[in-house]
Amino acid sequence: MKIAYGIEKPSIYVYYSSSITDISIFHQLIWGIEEEGIPYQMIRQTEGEALKLSFMAAEASSLGVGLGIGDDRLIILHYRKLPYEMPLFQIPHASSPSMMRAVGANAARLVKGIPFKEIDHKNNREDQYPSEIESDLKSIIAKVLEEINRKMKP
């Protein structure tokens, strides 16, 4: 975002892979930044890996904070002063809305120098009750197969 005389407004850069066609699923991430009152810029990149995207974004941002949304199904928060291989936060694309919002807010809080919001990994959609989901899936498949067999009998 340009302000007077071509000077760029300090903001968090959010780099996302050009292979991601629907960025609306990341609104919660952006809303987390907005809640904290820090400007951001979403910028499409040809790079696909979230770690590279986040590091590039942090390096390019005058605030030193960058988020990367990669085609590797990860969202990563990075800080310019940290080594490349040591990002602050990493979550999957399939994270819960509250987890995405917390990571966005934490990007802004890093800029503000205030404590991070807690990220609740227990309520993450991707991690919830995998054995229960698997057993539910098996019972659904069994019912479908029974129905197919019933309809195929003369």
What number is the average pLDDT over the span 100-125? 87
The DSSP code for 101 is H
E strands within the chain?
2-3, 7-8, 12-17, 40-45, 65-69, 74-79, 89-92
Higher pLDDT, 124 or 77: 77
pLDDT digits (tens, 9 = 90+) for 36-60: 999 999 999 999 999 999 999 999 9
Q: Return the pLDDT at 152.
A: 73
Neighbours of 98 (CB within 10 A): 15
Q: Return the pLDDT at 29.
A: 97
Higher pLDDT, 61 or 134: 61
Q: Return the pLDDT at 114.
A: 94
Q: CATH number of the domain at 2-119, please?
A: 3.40.50.10150
Question: Which residue reads 């919660």 in tokens?
Answer: 28
